[in-house]
Structures are given as structure tokens and as C-alpha cells.
Amino acid sequence: MVHSKGLKLLIGAVVIVSVGVGGAVAYQKVYAKSATTQSSISSQTYSLNESGQTYGSAEKTTPYEMLPDLIHRGSVDGVAGYVLKSDYLKGVSDVPLYDVDGKTILGSFHISANVVNFPRNENGQTYGSAADAASSDTEPELISAFGVDGTKGYVMKKDLDGEQPKSPKEALASMERNKEGRDIPLYDVDGKTVIGVFHVGGK
């Protein structure tokens, strides 16, 4: 009777150990998968300050939509300094240099005109908002716009700019010809599919 009871306890212990080992293996697999996923995510994300703003370093080649809210741009007395993303994109001259909290001003930082690295579609054309460009010369090839019926899409920069007059006479003729404005195609992000019409100028 004692031996039988001891045998049952031994079998129970083996089952518990077996389940425990299996659970540990399963836990290790899940943890490893989670760690791998976390690693891939963390390489594409930034840290958050107490106000919920992202902060970190950024290269000139970093696409504008992937820039953090606070971009590291030096230090003052050993304290890391950051500039606001909005100031960085505007390319204005002297802007505040903030502590990581995004509130405390440590000093100022000079920013030269930035060339925004707009994303490209499958045809290699840049696309995005003209407001994010430092100047008209750095605007994307496809500029985000709303068509006459409210459809959101993109217009070709070259269509928007139109043919540039070569003389005052041509300029006057162009103004007369287009006094009511003109219609240009509204494209999907691929730059090929026409999805509407955008009206330029006029009343």
C-alpha cells in the first residue's frame, strides 16, 4: 500500500516535471518571438518623453514622416539638446534648442535649409505635401491635393507650375488665357492613375 502510494506520487511528480519543462520550452519560444518582434520594432521607433513626444537622432536621409518630434542636434553643458521637428523642416535660421522634455530651452541652434527626403512611389517619383518642403525648388514631384469633388490625390508639380513664360508678352498672354483658371489631372500616388480633376487659379 505504501509502495503503491509512493509510486503514484512519483508518477505525479514526473507528469508535473514534464508539463513544467514543456511549459518552460513554450515560454522560451514565446519570449524569444516576443523579443525578436520587440527588437525589430524598437529599431524603427523612438523613445518617448513625459509629454508623449518622440525624441532621438535623425540623419539627413531619414524620410520626413519617420522623424521624431524632437531631433537631437547637440548639447549644452553636457545636456543633450533637441530641436522641434516643425522647426527642423521649416529650415528657419535660429531656433530654440530644448531639453528632452521639449519645454526647457537650453539655448539656440542654427538650421540651414533642409532638403526633405520625401518618400518615393514604385515609379521612383517623390510625393508628399508642398508645405513640408523648404522651398518651391525642393517640393516633391507629386504634390498632395484635393480635387474639385473633394477627392484626395496628387498633382504633378510640373502641371501645377505650368509652362513658364519666356517673355513679358508671353506672360500677359498666359494670364489672359488662364484668367478663369485651368484644370489639371489629379493622380493616385502611383502618378499614373487619374482619379479626378484639380482646378488651378481662377475665381
Residue 40 pLDDT more than 70?
no
Q: Which residue has the cell 474639385?
A: 148
Contact 102, 111 (CB under 8 A): no
Helix, strand, coil percent values for the chain (each to nearest 5): 35, 30, 35
Q: Collect all residues with Cβ–Cβ distance below 8 Å to 17 and sequence separation of at least 6.
A: none
Identify which of 161, 183, 165 has the alpha carbon closest to the alpha carbon of residue 175.
Answer: 165
pLDDT the model gives residue 113:
60
In terms of DSSP bridges, do strands 105-110 and 127-128 run parallel, antiparallel, or are they unpaired? unpaired
Mean pLDDT confidence for 26-37: 33
Mean pLDDT of the chain: 74
In a 10 Å sphere around its CB, with 0-12 CB exposed, 13-18 middle and 19+ buried, how is residue 35 labelled? exposed
3-state secondary structure at position 135: coil
pLDDT the model gives residue 162:
78
- Calculate what percentage of the chain has a pLDDT beyond 70: 68
For residue 148, CA distances in Å to 35, 101, 196, 198, 202 come to: 49, 43, 8, 6, 13
Radius of gyration for the alpha carbons in the chain, expressed in angstroms and rounded: 29
Edge-first strand listing for the sheet containing 127-128? 127-128, 142-146, 152-156, 182-187, 194-200
**In this structure, how many other beta carbons lie within 10 angstroms of the beta carbon of residue 120?**
15
Can you tell me the distance from the alpha carbon of 64 to that of 42, in angstroms, rounded to the nearest whole number? Answer: 18
pLDDT the model gives residue 165:
66
Q: Which DSSP helix (H) or strand (E) runs through 169?
A: helix 168-177
Where are the chain's structural domains? 1-43, 47-110, 127-200
Residue 202 pLDDT more than 90?
no
Can you tell me the distance from the alpha carbon of 170 to that of 22, in angstroms, rounded to the nearest whole number? Answer: 82
Q: Collect all residues with Cβ–Cβ distance below 8 Å to 11 and sequence separation of at least 6.
A: none
175-196: pLDDT as tens digits? 777 677 788 999 999 999 999 9
Can you tell me the distance from the alpha carbon of 164 to that of 110, in angstroms, rounded to the nearest whole number? Answer: 34
130-153: pLDDT as tens digits? 877 766 777 899 999 999 999 999
